[in-house]
Amino acid sequence: MASAIARTLRIGLIPGDGIGREVIPAGRQILEALSRTTNLKFSFVDLEAGFETFQRTGTALPEKTVEVLKQECDGALFGAVSSPSTKVEGYSSPIVALRKRLDLYANVRPVKSVKGAAIPVDLVIVRENTEDLYVKEERTFTAPDGTKVAEAIKRITERASTRIGKIAFELALKRSALRGPTTTPLVTITHKSNVLSQTDGLFRESVRAVYTSNPAYASVRCEEQIVDSMVYKLFREPGYFDVVVAPNLYGDILSDGAAALVGSLGLVPSANVGDGFAIGEPCHGSAPDIMGKGIANPIATIRSVGLMLEFMGETEAAAKVYSAVDASLVEGRYLSPDLGGTAGTKEVVDDVVRRL
């Protein structure tokens, strides 16, 4: 619940690449609108990171960005990254690095349809955010027969798996409380331990241990899905799922795929969450094909503003953001081209601001 005393929050703004430079200003507009309708006040600091920053300065994540976030900011918004699909010497993803530097160990990605949708969807994918194949420890070498071999380390730890498990079960309880006593919270552990018995096996065992060792989770139903069957069931029966918890790679793939259930990646938000800090981040990429055209869908970023506020403890302000977005989408007067409409980024933002 928001404090009765006016609170000023300092927010780092990191546009990144491509349409990140168009949607992050939209996020700032939403926060400025909230400052006029709630007891919250916001100040902002512009920060750099991304492939364009790398090309200009030789580093994708300047040390100044990390230090300002640590020392001056209460939360942050991150836009998008244009990470190349081929190796570029000296470059690595700044958002992956930022998650590790700030120990933002959970990536929380709600996927929700609006009222009246043909396929009702209301689930959250909780993705471990710091390890798995994203430790980025790879090497290429020449085999005895003269051919190239590339290999990567997949690292799973009990500590990281336990932390992400706790987030998942706490979210399930929170969602159940909001929906009322007639709903049973459900956590689905997703893994591939039938093949990767040690790495995914440890993830599965660690999350299950969180469940069985804490009496507070007795009201939660806990199930498991092998990741390939999870994909099938997610698209066949999306309404079945509540909270899905997964290692880094599976969570990334599942959440992007689940966006198709609600119409567009442009609708799906996320929050990178640690103990005491959160970075809101839309799930979409930098979309160079539409960069500069003024048609990027800002809804994922606006919802990410709500998620950031929610994890900062400002649940009333977050609820205002969610309600304004839902009302805009239900009315359908200002829909961006990815949703079949003709509205530009500015029109969509202005409509949500009016509803705030």
Active site residue 293: no
The reply to whether 145 belongs to the active site is no
Among the listed residues 209, 262, 264, the one whose alpha carbon sits nearest the alpha carbon of residue 234: 262
Q: Give yes or no: 252 in active site.
A: yes
Q: What is the DSSP string of 57-125?
A: HS-SS-HHHHHHHHHH-SEEEEEE----SS--TT---HHHHHHHHTT--EEEEEEEPPTT-SS--EEEE
Say which of 100, 233, 256, 346 is annotated catalytic: 256
Q: Please name the residues in contact with 305: beta carbons below 8 A apart, sequence gap of 6 or more.
A: 27, 30, 31, 77, 280, 321
**Marked catalytic residue, from 46, 103, 228, 232:** 228
Catalytic residue (one of 74, 105, 192, 242) = 192
Choosing from 252, 334, 338, 351, the catalytic residue is: 252
What is the Cα–Cα distance from 259 to 265, expressed in whole angstroms?
A: 5
Q: Is 32 exposed, middle or buried (0-12, 13-18, 19+ CB in 10 A)?
A: middle
Q: Is the dihedral of CA 249, 250, 252, 257 positive or negative?
A: positive
The answer to whether residue 134 is catalytic is yes
**CA-CA distance, 233 to 254, in Å (whole number)?**
11
Which is the catalytic residue, given 105, 134, 211, 250?
134
**230: Cβ contacts below 8 Å, ≥ 6 apart:** 188, 190, 244, 250, 254
Q: Which of 22, 70, 13 is nearest to 42 (CA)?
A: 13
User: Does the annotation count 217 as an active-site position?
Assistant: no
Residue 273's Cβ-side half-sphere holds a number of Cα atoms within 13 Å equal to: 24
> Rounded CA gap, 310 and 59, in Å?
32
Catalytic positions: 134, 192, 228, 252, 256
